[in-house]
Amino acid sequence: MSIIATVIACIVVMALAVPFSMVGQGGGSTYVPVLLVAGMEFHAASTTSLFMIMLASLAATLVFGRKKTVDWKLLLSIVPLAILGSFAGGYVAHFVSALVLKIIFALVLTIAAFFMLRPTTEGQTPSFMPQWGCWDRSCGGHQYRISMGLLIPATALAGFIAGMIGVGGGLFVLPLLILLFGCPTRIAIGVSSTYVGIAALPGFIGHLVGGSAFNIWVALPLAAAAFAGATLGPMLSLKVSVARLRVVLAIVLIALAIWMVVNVFIK
């Protein structure tokens, strides 16, 4: 990548990191195409993107953590199986049609966006959801009850599907927490913000061990741009009403759904 291409990529990355970090996402689905357009080779772009996600996640976690909207106990309870599910999904991916998976994924994101826009009682579990192994939680001034007997296997399945498709598990975990498990929107965003960084770490290490090209001197300014955007995003998120935050999340989910469909036809 030339110096000019790197500067332009940094500006674009920072702009993308703001809305994604507002709603607890790493933005990795958009970083890779930006780096490819800037002239980076695919494997190097994937590795660099994971590095950027980790730094963006760290920035968001610092902001949300200070405001006490990261439920650390809830986060740590779902991370192990979610990451194992992601590894398993990545392993069996070549046995399943990527075309079918990406279309299904896009439909799921679109449906989740639709329900995000519907009026709802914040932090209320849908009546059709069984309550197994309930855990009463308190975080950031919110009181809520999580059905851990369902959430843990659900996040493992979410990780598995995300691993097969090759996207961040936070795209599934966040809507799951809000729509099906009654987690308050701000808490779910805080949990997802940290989750995406943790989930990106093993992938980053795997790329390095596997021999993927990684230029730290190019990656650092890009990661700094992601860090800056992911610091601003959460600050804006905390100032926006929950209703408007859900609209932002719906827009991000729909945009990613459209990108997933477009991605099917350009490969």
Where do the structural domains in the chain lie, given as residue ranges? 3-266
Q: Grade residue 166 by pLDDT with cuts at 50, 70 and 90.
A: low
SS3 184: coil
Q: What DSSP designation does 134 have?
A: E
Q: Is the predicted pLDDT of residue 43 greater than 90, yes or no?
A: no
**Phi–psi pair at 72, nearest 5 degrees:** -65, -40
Model pTM score: 0.86
pLDDT at residue 160 greater than cutoff 90: no
User: Quick one: how far is CA 44 from the chain centroid?
Assistant: 20
Q: Is 125 a residue whose pLDDT tops 70?
A: yes
Which pLDDT value is given to residue 128?
Answer: 82
Beta carbons of 54 and 225 less than 8 angstroms apart: no
**pLDDT (average), residues 237-247:** 89
Per-residue pLDDT at 3: 85
Residue 232 has pLDDT above 90, yes or no: yes
Over residues 220-229, the mean pLDDT reads 95
User: What does the pLDDT read at residue 98?
Assistant: 63
Question: What average pLDDT does the structure give for the chain?
Answer: 85
**28 pLDDT exceeds 60?**
yes
- Using pLDDT thresholds of 50, 70 and 90, give the confidence band for residue 121: low
Q: What's the alpha-carbon Rg for the chain, to the nearest Å?
A: 18
pLDDT of residue 91 exceeding 80? no
Report the share of the chain in percent with pLDDT over 70: 93
